[in-house]
A and B are shown apart, each in its own frame.
Chain A
Amino acid sequence: MSDTILSVKDLKVSFDTYAGEVQAVRGVSFDLKKGEVLAIVGESGCGKSVTAQTIMRLTPTPPSRIKSGSILFDGDIEITKLSDRQMEHIRGSEMGMIFQDPMTSLNPTMTVGKQITEGLRKHQRITGDAANKRALELLNLVGISNPESRILQYPHELSGGMRQRVMIAISLACNPKLLIADEPTTALDVTIQAQIIDLMKKLSEQTQASIIIITHDLGVVAEMAQRVIVMYAGKVVEQGTVDEVFYNPQHPYTWGLLRSIPRLDEMGGGDLVPIPGTPPDLFAPPKGCAFAARCPYAMQVCLEEDPDHTKLTADHSAACWLLHPDAPKVERPVEAGGRKHG
C-alpha cells in the first residue's frame, strides 16, 4: 500500500451544460506507484484530460462536478474532499502539471523567472534571492542555456520547445511527488518532441516523481512508461504494463488503436487502419459496452450490459465480453504491436 502514490477509484466526472449532463469520466480506477510512469492513451474526447485535471481539481466547478469516486493521494489525502484552500497547498507543491500547448500556457506579460519563482515563493516561503537561485538551477536542469539572461525574458522571446522546458521547470519547482503531463509534445515539431521526451525521461529517472503522461503517441508510451491505461468514452477499457498492452492486447478497441496510430519507429509496419465510426455521445452513453457500436466482434450481450474488468495478470486487465469463458474465441487482427521496450 505504501508504495502507491495515487489511487483513483471509480471516479465519475460530469459537466452540467445547457444541453444536459456530459458524462466525461464514467468510472475510472487505477493506481500509480511511487516513481512509476503511467501513460494514458485513447481517442480524442475520451476523458483523458478531464481525468488528469480532476486529480489536480483543475476543472472549473461548475460546470464540472465529481459525481462519485475517490482520489487518494500520498497515502491518506482524499483529493475529492479537500477544500479549495487545502487544494491550493497541494497544487504546485505536491503535484505539478504540464500542458499541451507551450505557446499559450505561459503568461505573456510576466518574465520567465517570475513565473518559475511564483509557486516556490508561495509554497516554500523563501526569499526572492533563494527563489531566483532555485529558478536558475531549474532552468539548468531542463537544459536551457544562459539561464541568467533567460529568467529576465518574456515567453514570446523563447521558442516553443524552450517554453515547454520552462513549463517543465515550473511544474518541478517544488519537487512534486506527482507530475501530470497532458500531451506535452503534441504541439511541438518532431525533433523538438524527441528532445522533450528525452528530457522528461531523464527527469523521471533523476527525480523521485511519479508521472502520468497523456499522449496519442505510442512511441512515447514505449519510450517512457512502465504501465499504460487505454481509455474509451470515459472508461478504462484495458490496462497493464506496456509490454502486456502492446504485445498481448485483449480489448478490440486496443487492437483498433494499435492499428490506427502511426509509429515513427516502425518503418513499413503495416497499413494504418482507422477505427470506423465515432465514439458515443457522452450526453447519453449506451447501456452496454460503449465500444459495441464500432466493434466488429460485438455480441448481443455487449449491447445490453457493460462488461467488468477481467484480470489477466497482476497488472493486466481488460473490460470485454470476449474474455468471458463462454465467449467465442476470436483471432486477434493485430500482430504483436509496439516497439521493443528500452
Chain B
Amino acid sequence: MLKYTLRRFVYMLITLWLIISFTFVLMKNLPGDPFGEMSNKIPKDVKAVLMREYGLDKPLWQQYTHYIGNVVQGDLGVSFQFPNRKVTSVIKQGFPASLELGIFSTCLAVLIGLPLGIFASLKHGKWQDYTAMFIAVLGVSIPSFVLGPILSYYVGVKLGWLPAGLWKGPQYMILPGFALSFGTLAILARLMRTSMLDVLNQDYIKTARAKGLNKLSIVWKHTIRNAILPVITILGPIFVNTITGTLVVEKIFSVPGLGDQFVSSVYSNDYTMISGLTIFYAVVLMIVIFFTDIIYGLVDPRIRLGKGSR
C-alpha cells in the first residue's frame, strides 16, 4: 500500500509538471496579446517597458524556468488585468465560496445519485427503474443555466422558501447547490445503476444466493461494495468538475466565487491569471484524484495487496 501510494504521488508530480509546461506553451501561442484592444495605441517605448516589467522580453526558455521556479514557490504571478492584484490573492478570495458550493453539490449528487442508481437497478425493468432513469435523463439534458434561473425564480422569488441568491449562510447553498448537482447526480445514478446490474449478473452473486443469504445482505455486502468501485474512480474528476463548473451557477445566484474570475481573465487575455487558475485547478484535481486513488486502493483488495506490496 505504501509503495502504491508513493507511486501515485510521483505520478501526480509528473502530471503537474506536464500541465504547468503545457499551460506555459499554450499561453505563449494564444492569439492576441495581454494589452488587448489598447495594444496598438500604446506607444512603442511604453510597451517595451511593460514587456520588460512582466519579463516578456526575455528568451522563452528563461521565461519558462523563471515561471516554473515561481510556481513551485507558490507564486502564480501578478494579474495583467488588475496590475496590483496577485493571482494567489484572487484565488484566496474567490475559492472558498466555490469550494463550499462544490463540496455541497458533490455531496448532494452522491447522496441522491447513488441511492437512486441502486434503487433503479434493484427494480430493473420495472416502472420505478424507468422513472429513476427518466429523472437521470432530465438531469443530463437540463443544463444548470436553465435549471438555475427556474429554481431561483420559482422556489426563491415566487414561493420564497429559500434565498434566491447571494451567499450568506448554509441555506443560501441549497438552490445553487441543487442546480449545480443535478447533472452530476444524474451521471452518478446512471453509472451506479449500470455497475450494479453488471455486478448482479456476476457469478459470485449466484454463489452468495446459493449460500442462502437474504436479499439485503446480498445487495449490501456483495453487490454495492463491488459496484461502487468504478464510481469511486470518477468521483475525483466529478468533484473538480463541479468546483470548476460553478461559474454559471455562481453568476445566476450571485455567489462571489472563482468561476467569474476565470471567464473575465479569458476575455481580457490575462495570461498570468489564466495559467495561474489553470494550474491551481490542476493541483486541486491532482490532489483529489490522488486521494480517490488511495480510497480506491483501500476498498479494492486487488490493488491494496496487488503488485504494490509484493
- Show the binding face of A for B, using Cβ within 8 Å: 56, 58, 85, 87-93, 96-97, 99, 101, 104-111, 115, 118-119, 122-123, 154, 156-157, 167, 170-171, 173
Residues of B close to A157: CB separation below 8 A: 305
A123 adjacent to B226 (CB under 8 Å): no
Most A CB contacts (10 A, CB to CB) among B203, B212, B213 go to: B212
A108 adjacent to B207 (CB under 8 Å): no
Among the 9-residue stretches B167-175, B178-186, B277-285, B294-302, the one with 4 or more Cβ atoms under 8 Å from chain A is: B294-302
11 A–B contacts from the bound complex (CB under 8 Å): A90-B212, A107-B226, A108-B300, A109-B300, A118-B208, A118-B213, A122-B212, A123-B212, A154-B305, A156-B305, A157-B305
How far is A27 from B251 in the complex, measured between Cα atoms in Å? 69
B211 adjacent to A170 (CB under 8 Å): yes
A108 adjacent to B203 (CB under 8 Å): no
Closest residue of chain A to B214 (Cβ to Cβ) is: A88
A109 adjacent to B225 (CB under 8 Å): yes
B221 contacts the other chain (CB 8 A): yes
B38 contacts the other chain (CB 8 A): no
How far is A118 from B301 in the complex, measured between Cα atoms in Å? 19
Contact partner of B302 (CB less than 8 A), chosen from A90, A97, A111, A154, is A154
Query: What does the 1/0 interface line of B240-264 toward A look like (CB < 8 Å)?
Result: 0000000000000000000000000
- Show the binding face of B for A, using Cβ within 8 Å: 202-204, 206-214, 217, 221-222, 225-226, 229, 299-302, 305-306
Q: How far apart are B140's CB and chain A's nearest CB, in angstroms?
A: 26
Q: How far apart are B233's CB and chain A's nearest CB, in angstroms?
A: 15
Q: How far apart are B203's CB and chain A's nearest CB, in angstroms?
A: 4
Residues of B close to A104: CB separation below 8 A: 202-204
A56 adjacent to B210 (CB under 8 Å): yes
Residues of A close to B299: CB separation below 8 A: 109
How far is A193 from B19 in the complex, measured between Cα atoms in Å? 53
Contact partner of A156 (CB less than 8 A), chosen from B206, B229, B302, is B302
Top-5 shortest CB links A-B? A92-B212, A91-B212, A119-B211, A92-B211, A104-B203
Residues of B close to A56: CB separation below 8 A: 210
A92 adjacent to B210 (CB under 8 Å): yes
How far is A85 from B209 in the complex, measured between Cα atoms in Å? 12
Q: How far apart are B301's CB and chain A's nearest CB, in angstroms?
A: 4
Residues of A close to B229: CB separation below 8 A: 109
Closest residue of chain B to A104 (Cβ to Cβ) is: B203
> Known: A99-B203, A99-B207. Is A108-B212 also a contact (CB below 8 A)?
no
B302 adjacent to A167 (CB under 8 Å): no
Most A CB contacts (10 A, CB to CB) among B210, B217, B300 go to: B210
B213 adjacent to A122 (CB under 8 Å): yes
Residues of A close to B208: CB separation below 8 A: 107, 118
How far is A154 from B310 in the complex, measured between Cα atoms in Å? 14
> Known: A88-B214, A154-B305. Is A105-B204 also a contact (CB below 8 A)?
yes
B301 adjacent to A107 (CB under 8 Å): no
Residues of A close to B209: CB separation below 8 A: 58, 91
Residues of A close to B302: CB separation below 8 A: 108, 154, 156
How far is A280 from B47 in the complex, measured between Cα atoms in Å? 86
How far is A170 from B204 in the complex, measured between Cα atoms in Å? 12
Residues of A close to B305: CB separation below 8 A: 154, 156-157
A91 adjacent to B301 (CB under 8 Å): no
Q: How far apart are B59's CB and chain A's nearest CB, in angstroms?
A: 54
How far is A122 from B226 in the complex, measured between Cα atoms in Å? 21
Residues of A close to B210: CB separation below 8 A: 56, 58, 91-92, 96-97, 99, 171
Contact partner of A119 (CB less than 8 A), chosen from B202, B213, B225, B306, is B213
How far is A134 from B213 in the complex, measured between Cα atoms in Å? 18
Closest residue of chain B to A84 (Cβ to Cβ) is: B215
Most A CB contacts (10 A, CB to CB) among B209, B221, B229, B305 go to: B209
Residues of A close to B202: CB separation below 8 A: 104
Residues of B close to A87: CB separation below 8 A: 212
Closest residue of chain B to A103 (Cβ to Cβ) is: B203
Residues of A close to B217: CB separation below 8 A: 118, 122
Closest residue of chain A to B225 (Cβ to Cβ) is: A109
How far is A326 from B51 in the complex, measured between Cα atoms in Å? 110
Closest residue of chain B to A111 (Cβ to Cβ) is: B301
A105 adjacent to B212 (CB under 8 Å): no
Residues of B close to A88: CB separation below 8 A: 212-214
Closest residue of chain B to A167 (Cβ to Cβ) is: B207
> Known: A107-B207, A107-B208. Is A154-B213 also a contact (CB below 8 A)?
no
Q: How far apart are B232's CB and chain A's nearest CB, in angstroms?
A: 12
Q: How far apart are B26's CB and chain A's nearest CB, in angstroms?
A: 42
A154 adjacent to B301 (CB under 8 Å): yes
Closest residue of chain A to B221 (Cβ to Cβ) is: A110
Residues of B close to A167: CB separation below 8 A: 207
Q: How far apart are B42's CB and chain A's nearest CB, in angstroms?
A: 64
Closest residue of chain A to B208 (Cβ to Cβ) is: A107
Residues of B close to A123: CB separation below 8 A: 212
A118 adjacent to B211 (CB under 8 Å): yes
Contact partner of B204 (CB less than 8 A), chosen from A106, A119, A173, is A106
Q: How far apart are B130's CB and chain A's nearest CB, in angstroms?
A: 16
Beyond the given pairs A91-B209, A92-B210, A109-B299, 20 more chain A to chain B contacts, judged by CB atoms under 8 angstroms and listed by A's residue number, are A91-B210, A91-B211, A91-B212, A93-B212, A99-B203, A99-B207, A101-B203, A107-B204, A107-B207, A107-B222, A108-B226, A109-B226, A109-B229, A118-B208, A119-B213, A122-B211, A122-B212, A122-B213, A122-B217, A167-B207
Residues of A close to B301: CB separation below 8 A: 108-109, 111, 154, 156
How far is A156 from B302 in the complex, measured between Cα atoms in Å? 7
Closest residue of chain A to B228 (Cβ to Cβ) is: A109
How far is A122 from B207 in the complex, measured between Cα atoms in Å? 15
How far is A111 from B212 in the complex, measured between Cα atoms in Å? 18
Most B CB contacts (10 A, CB to CB) among A96, A106, A118 go to: A118
How far is A92 from B212 in the complex, measured between Cα atoms in Å? 5
Residues of B close to A92: CB separation below 8 A: 210-213
How far is A140 from B221 in the complex, measured between Cα atoms in Å? 26
Q: How far apart are A193's CB and chain B's nearest CB, in angstroms?
A: 19
